[in-house]
Amino acid sequence: MKLTWFSQVTLSKIAKEFYGDAGKYMDIANANGIENPDKINVGQELKIP
């Protein structure tokens, strides 16, 4: 699945929605080659593994 990043959404919130665990945000970061989850560009498309 792919999502487009919006400024009010965090990787933690996305992880909570899809996995039921906000702590799995690094799974999303790693799947997208994101080294710093705090630096995401608005409009960036994210893969949800």
**Rounded Cα gap, residues 40 and 20, in angstroms:** 22
Query: Global pTM?
Result: 0.81
Rg (CA), the chain: 9
Domains of the chain, with CATH numbers? Answer: 2-47 (3.10.350.10)
The pLDDT tens digits for 10-40 are 899 899 999 999 999 999 999 999 999 888 8
Confidence of residue 8 (pLDDT cuts 50, 70, 90): confident
Give bridge partners of residue 46 from the DSSP assignment. Answer: 3
Torsion angle, alpha carbons of 29, 14, 22, 28, to 10: -20
